[in-house]
Amino acid sequence: MTRFGMIVLAATVGLAGCATTTPIALDPSGRPLPQRYDISAADSGAIVLRMQDGVNAVRQAAGAQPVALNAQLNAAAATHSRDMSVQNRPWHFGSDGSSPLDRVRRVGYAGTLLGENISETYETEVETLAAWMADPATRGVVLDPQAREMGFAWFQEPNGKIWWTLLTGY
């Protein structure tokens, strides 16, 4: 290596040690504040598959059969995620008074609906699944031993807020 190359290498290593990192913003309790998670169109398929993989991993650990994605349940989940955004509240009823059962019937789902999990957050799909697993009621939807199919979708607002919906059925 030439003398000039050694000087450049030494300077690069020296300057790298001077780099600053952005501190993590904390809430009053000391927990990190949520980071904005932007979902691009290119990420859509990967997000659905990561959620399915995560759901199936926790189901396997609990001794439950894996679930397959169902296009009709995905459609019902997408409709509800967008509708929760319009209503600006996470709840299981649509702006027209529809229940989860009504919504899966509208999309032609011929199976039996078992449950629906919803979330309003800025977190990733993996963090959302972890939050659902921490709550006994939403954990039960994910781990229901009768489930053979799932639908999953979201709607992201321009401000970054994400409305997540997961449906299970058989």
Under DSSP, is residue 106 helix (H, G, I), strand (E, B) or coil? helix
pLDDT value of position 29: 79
CA-to-CA separations, 108 to 21, 29, 72, 79, 147, in angstroms, rounded: 51, 46, 7, 13, 18
Q: Is 161 exposed, middle or buried (0-12, 13-18, 19+ CB in 10 A)?
A: middle
Angle at alpha carbon of residue 134, lines to 58 and 152, rounded to 5°: 60
pLDDT value of position 46: 93
Segments making up each domain of the chain, as ranges: 42-169
**Cβ neighbour number for residue 51 with a 10 Å cutoff:** 22
CA distance 21 to 15: 13
Over the stretch 53-66, which tens digit does the pLDDT of each residue have? 999 999 999 999 99
Under DSSP, is residue 20 helix (H, G, I), strand (E, B) or coil? coil
Over the stretch 111-163, which tens digit does the pLDDT of each residue have? 999 999 999 998 899 999 999 999 999 999 999 999 999 999 999 999 999 99
Give 42-169's CATH code, choosing from 3.20.10.10, 3.40.50.800, 3.40.33.10, 3.90.180.10: 3.40.33.10
